[in-house]
Amino acid sequence: MVDTRYTKLAKLLVEYSTGIQEGDHTMIDLADVPDDFAVELIRAVRAAGGIPLVEIRHSRVSRELLKDTDQEHARLVRDIEMHRVKKAQAFIAVRGSYNASETSDVPSDRLALFSKTLRPVQNHRVNKTRWVVLRWPTPSMAQAAGMSTEAFEDFYFSVTTMNYRKMAKAMEPLVTRMQEADRVDIKSPGTELSFSINGIPAVACQGTRNIPDGEVFSCPTKSSVNGTIQYNTPTIYSGTRFEDVRLEFKNGKIVDASSNNTKRLNEILDTDSGARYVGEFALGFNPYIEQPMCDTLFDEKIAGSLHFTPGQAYEQADNGNRSAVHWDMVLIQRPEWGGGEVWFDGELIRKDGLFMPKDLKPLNPTNLKK
Segment 209-249, tens digit of pLDDT: 888 999 999 999 999 999 999 999 999 898 889 999 999 99
User: pLDDT above 90 covers what percent of the chain?
Assistant: 84
Q: Which residues, 6+ apart, have CB-to-CB distance to 79 below 8 Å?
A: none
- Are 269 and 313 contained in the same domain? yes
- Are 67 and 194 contained in the same domain? no
Q: Which pLDDT value is given to residue 297?
A: 82
Q: Which pLDDT value is given to residue 26?
A: 98
Q: Which pLDDT value is given to residue 299?
A: 94
User: pLDDT above 70 covers what percent of the chain?
Assistant: 100
Domain holding 57, by residue range, is: 4-160
- Are 204 and 331 contained in the same domain? yes
- Are 131 and 183 contained in the same domain? no
Q: Which pLDDT value is given to residue 85?
A: 95
- Are 151 and 288 contained in the same domain? no
The answer to whether 338 and 352 have CB atoms below 8 angstroms apart is no
pLDDT at residue 73 greater than cutoff 80: yes
The answer to whether 203 and 168 have CB atoms below 8 angstroms apart is no
Point out the domain boundary residue: 125, 160, 195: 160
**Residue 146 confidence class, pLDDT cut points 50, 70, 90:** confident
The domain tally of the chain equals 2
- Are 149 and 103 contained in the same domain? yes
Segment 42-66, tens digit of pLDDT: 999 999 999 999 999 999 999 999 9
- Are 153 and 168 contained in the same domain? no
- Are 112 and 259 contained in the same domain? no
- Are 216 and 290 contained in the same domain? yes
pLDDT at residue 3 greater than cutoff 90: no
- Are 83 and 152 contained in the same domain? yes
**Residue 74 confidence class, pLDDT cut points 50, 70, 90:** very high
* Number of residues assigned to the chain: 370
* Mean pLDDT to the nearest integer, 125-136: 92
Q: Which pLDDT value is given to residue 293?
A: 84
Point out the domain boundary residue: 104, 138, 160: 160
Segment 272-314, tens digit of pLDDT: 999 999 999 999 999 999 999 888 889 999 999 999 999 999 9
CATH number at residue 55: 3.40.1830.10
Is the pTM for the entire model greater than 0.85?
A: no
pLDDT at residue 1 greater than cutoff 80: no
Can you give 16-40 as a three-state secondary structure string?
A: HHCCCCCCCEEEEEEECCCHHHHHH
Segment 243-276, tens digit of pLDDT: 999 999 999 999 999 999 999 999 999 999 999 9
- Are 135 and 179 contained in the same domain? no
What is the pairing mode between strands 191-196 and 240-242? unpaired
Helix (H, G, I), strand (E, B) or coil at 349: strand
pLDDT at residue 15 greater than cutoff 90: yes
Which residue pairs, CB below 8 angstroms and at least 24 apart, start in 116-124? 116/271, 116/272, 116/324, 117/71, 117/74, 117/75, 117/77, 117/78, 118/74, 118/77, 118/78, 118/81, 119/312, 119/324, 120/78, 120/82, 121/78, 121/81, 121/82, 121/85, 123/315, 124/82, 124/85, 124/86
**Residue 163 confidence class, pLDDT cut points 50, 70, 90:** confident
pLDDT at residue 140 greater than cutoff 90: no
**Residue 141 confidence class, pLDDT cut points 50, 70, 90:** confident
Q: Which pLDDT value is given to residue 97?
A: 83
- Are 187 and 335 contained in the same domain? yes
Q: Which pLDDT value is given to residue 108?
A: 87
The answer to whether 233 and 330 have CB atoms below 8 angstroms apart is yes
pLDDT at residue 207 greater than cutoff 90: no
Point out the domain boundary residue: 137, 160, 183: 160
**Residue 349 confidence class, pLDDT cut points 50, 70, 90:** very high
- Residue 185 CA to residue 341 CA, distance in Å, equals 8
DSSP conformational letter for 231: -
Segment 92-114, tens digit of pLDDT: 999 998 887 888 899 989 998 99
Q: Which pLDDT value is given to residue 98?
A: 83
Helix (H, G, I), strand (E, B) or coil at 164: helix
